[in-house]
Structure 1
């Protein structure tokens, strides 16, 4: 991997022969674990401006029609998350000269509050080609990490690292996007800015860079514009906007023209239509029926065929799943049960995906597992060898398991002597369901028929006979570890504790996918390990804590939530605790805070546990049932200063390792759903 310095540039062809399609990843960290930002991409033509507003890609315009740009969203990593962008450089229009990759923050937050600002670029095989760590960020609310630009027939990357105090609106305006300013002026804008529309030169966050290679264009200068409209008017709530208790939710920002207005797409309502059946015994006809299947092999064949057929017929869905694997945008065709020669006997992968663009083919072999069946290393190894010999680009494994960084589901050997590289990717059934849910419930697809197809796919995946229910078993180490904690015989360094920690991490990632799909929001696990920490070392440390404390802990960051949602599974007491901490305002009276909190939770469950957070000691606590007639009961009698309130719900923990009604996995799902619906929604 080539490590870049600010202002440095390099040709992608010098780093990889497979750089026609790349994945750009932006990452950062924060001490609190809840700092976040939103990525954006701009396609620039001659003169360093966009050709039109459609060349601006951000949360309200996440994909280009030609497939050249697609925002893939955030994915968990060992020490936080990465926001990924798929760029198909072969599909970029010829009059696009530069592709700018940036990010923005909101609500007064700036990039100086984040640590480890970093951008990496990987080729279609997933191999990281270059990285750039941006230092010195301060009050900037938008930040250009880097850009790709044409130099003759070649694409090059430049590490930029320049900031914008004016946020996303300023970044967009500076590159030619027409942003409606709305009625509300920026209270920080000076008279000179109001008159000229530009901020003075002293407002530049960083000085312009000069090119480091002869003949290359200079790096872009920071913006001069400081538009009067706040960046939040660009269309949705920010990614990192915790609310203090005293700030009631205000009206949504008024929507205007320009890049805010996305093309209307088809979504399906959450409430089903009234049934015309005479009684409950009438079963609605389904496109993908799920009768009792006789074997796992039949389940795998049917699940593969159903999924690949929908991918080929719903372009938005197929592109969303394959873009993360480096596939180009183009005509997709899918196949099942293909026989491919291999030694003495042919091999039959469960499926094949082919994408054609400009006369070139991208091909991936698919290996599917359902229920709790594990992937087989020897089988996947054969497909990797076949793909390498036939010039295919990828092998994709699909199962109910969730891949973790640093813990591959299968071990394969790659022959480094082969010039052609094959990428190995994994997809979980939970992620497939998440992407389908996001499209038909929240983001929309182009046609009503496509929405119906995705609805039928979801119905199939969620049916008890499909075998595609996602992660559903805590593993063979679960019962011995629980027993060891109960008898106090589990010691640090026990490998079984690490296995339980890995299963817990898989479960939490699946909870995030399921909850995010239901809400239409980003839901990600928060990991407070220092960036760059080895994932094996991090899990080993968590396993030692499990042995010592007998508890599994996870934190979830949910867009729009007032704080981090914490989940604690206490294996000693058999209790699950879900909680959130709410800060109090800088001004006001504690009694008013307590009354306001109780009013906002008027429809919350009576058994919600409320605790006042007092520095240095435990504060007063009680249930909502007790506090509703007398909110002052949550205040310290000695007048100690309150920093916030912690709201919690407790629930019995499932005992078995599986996904049955009495299982641990089901109990975690139920606890998170009840807490979010009963508590968090009343606070947002």
Structure 2
């Protein structure tokens, strides 16, 4: 184990070959046996400040939503306490340049009263890589023990050992955190701190960082955070879950468990149950759900997967539920039999639930129209279920931390491969023949297989918007550019024409708060996926200043990003890779005033039709996620007006 001295630094990759997160342990001893301190972590951008309160982690905000930072809690030792922190460096956002590891004391206590102040860093295999002992502490009430920082493509550790006499509030202010500490308010004792939520739940994002150490807490809705602690002996141990995906013997068991899990959570989390049923015309009221209810149907019986009943003001609204998981399709005869049962019993709706998405407000299964005269036939995708759960438990909040935890357990279940509820995940039987026909130059207009691929591309685009919307909490939606009076089939026909003419499919996605729509294009001839956005230029007098304005924001973007400078009224201009522009920005200077920049990133396209590692759907998801995270999100909308000329 490497012993560090104050001010020393070392590259982490040179100390261990183990992949995965690193762990930092802060330890101390107190001669009185009563000493206590709290650890904190700050994610710092290139300007030396945090991006916002969510980059500040302490006892009341112990983990990040992406799991890159987790405060794992205190562990007693033979001579004192240790506080453990886990940092997944690979998962940190690109704009984070520094991870500051600190600790603070309260009630007037100082670090000079503690002995053996020490930081150790271990790899994911548990091997201790380095240690840093802090000596000479006196009146300090907060200490920066060390920091992890980027240097090019590598992460390094620096032994800092800097103390502050202003406590946690002063430390936070140093990095741009506005801490509320009302004059005359007494700090909270350790036993008065907000109680820990159940595993997987936490206070809401608006609540968790607003007050560092106050006893007053506003009544706010609860959202979900990653698990706070891990006491596992090995990294491959899995947390026990409320809803298990193990032990399925056949598709019927998988569908039965998925239905029961969903309906139980709908009943126990009123906000979620209301969100799901409201789209089908159900009233707001007391809800009860049932699994596999039996109904007489002719000379036999039928058993829908579930029943939902909502009671309000003496009226009872009822829906029958038919569920499919994995790639299992809905069957027309089964759906029609449930429509007949619902009609005979005076029920309002039959809801089908599968991984397919309905297009144009219709239904994936064509049924006899006479059977829907008295009973509505509605469809819900598992992707839509997951979207509503993400919005509630990660962004909008629910009334109880337990409810947020339940939604988190439902999401975990839906995301497991064995559950069969991941949403649209198969481009269909026509995908490979169409792809091969494009490569051979034999695809022609009127090919029904091309229409099926165009429909599935539209479904994939919709599901992509649902997933991004659930993850960001924003209203992400496809950009529809159509002629007046044009119906969806005509738009689909344009996708088919593009497939036949150029072997390409494209879709635009609008993500609120970003500089422009995200265009994703799949080129089946070259086997590439290209993501593109056009960003308005800053209003500057010189072309080079406009270019430098963009390059500063793209300091951590991929080297292979292609940038094109577009003069006003033109759709092309000087173009170069970002790696070359970093050395010579003037390569983009052309003969016209730069009005906007076209940013493009190319990735390989999976050839298989599904979501496996080499699949097309997964490759589209990965390409869009990377462009959004590493390029589009870092461009500040309207920032050009506020920048100083460079």
Aligned to 1:634: 588
Distance across 2 between alignment mates of 1:264 and 1:642? 47
2:520 is paired with a residue whose SS is strand
Residue in structure 1 matching 2:288, options 333, 338, 341: 333
Greater mean alpha carbon deviation, residues 277-286 or residues 394-403: 277-286
TM-score by length of 2: 0.63
Match of 1:355 in 2: 310
User: Which of residues 301, 305, 316 is equivalent to 2:260?
Assistant: 305
Deviation at 1:642, TM superposition (A): 2.3
- 1:387 and 1:588 mapped to 2: Cα distance? 69
Shift of 1:649: 0.8
The structure with higher relative contact order (CA 8 Å, sep 6+) is: 1
CA contact under 8 A between 1:555 and 1:567: conserved in structure 2?
yes
1:625 and 2:574 are equivalent in the alignment: no
Does 2:624 correspond to 1:644?
no
Match of 1:604 among 554, 557, 564: 557
Q: Distance in 2 between matches of 1:350 and 1:531?
A: 43
CA distance, structure 2, for counterparts of residue 532 and residue 668 of structure 1: 31
**Deviation for aligned residue 1:561:** 0.9
Report the Cα offset of residue 546 of structure 1: 1.2
Matched, 1:491 2:435: no
Which of 252, 262, 267 is the aligned partner of 2:223? 267
Matched, 1:366 2:321: yes
1:426: how far off? 0.7
Alignment match, 1:118: none
Aligned to 1:661: 613
8 Å contact from structure 2 (residues 538, 549) kept in 1: no
Check if 1:681 corresponds to 2:633. yes
Partners of 1:370 and 1:617 in 2: CA distance: 45
2:241 to 263, 277, 286: 286
8 Å CA contact 2:338, 2:350 repeated in 1: yes
State the 1:343 CA deviation.
0.4
* Larger CA Rg, structure 1 vs 2: 2
CA contact (8 A) 1:406 1:535 kept: no
Deviations 1:603-653 (A, max 9, x none): 1112111111234463111111111122221121xx223221011111000
Q: CA deviation at 1:292?
A: 3.9
Distance 2:628 2:607 in 1: 23
- Decide whether the 8 Å contact of 1:406 with 1:536 is kept in 2: no
| 1:463 aligned to which of 394, 411, 416 | 416
How far, CA to CA, are the matches of 1:321 and 1:263 in structure 2? 25
Deviations 1:135-169 (A, max 9, x none): xxxxxxxxxxxxxxxxxxxxxxxxxxxxxxxxxxx
CA-CA distance at 1:574 after TM superposition: 0.4
Classify the secondary structure of the residue corresponding to 2:256. Answer: helix
Q: Secondary structure at the match of 2:465?
A: helix
In 1, are the aligned partners of 2:605 and 2:619 still within 8 Å (CA)? yes
Q: How big is the shift at 1:424?
A: 1.1
Please give the alpha-carbon distance, in whole angstroms, between the structure 2 residues aligned to 1:281 and 1:515: 28
**Aligned-residue offset at 1:531:** 4.8
Aligned residues: 420
User: What do residues 265-289 of structure 1 show as CA deviations (whole Å, max 9, x unaligned)?
Assistant: 00112x4323111112433211111
Does the CA-based 8 Å contact 1:292-1:465 persist in structure 2?
no
> Per-residue CA shift, 1:31-59, capped at 9, x if unaligned?
xxxxxxxxxxxxxxxxxxxxxxxxxxxxx
Q: Gapped runs of 5+ residues in structure 1?
A: 1-253, 255-261
Output one character per residue of 1:546-588: Cα deviation in whole Å (capped at 9) or x when no partner. Answer: 1011100000000111100000100000010001101124553
Give 1:559's match in structure 2, choosing from 512, 515, 524: 512
Give the superposed CA RMSD: 1.9
**Where in structure 2 are the equivalents of 1:570-589 lying within 5 Å?**
570-585=523-538, 588-589=541-542
- Tell me the distance in 2 between the aligned counterparts of 1:434 and 1:388: 31
> Could you tell me how far apart the structure 2 residues matched to 1:312 and 1:575 are?
45
Does the 8 Å contact 2:323/2:353 carry over to 1? Answer: yes
Long gaps (5+) in structure 2: 1-209, 211-217, 637-646
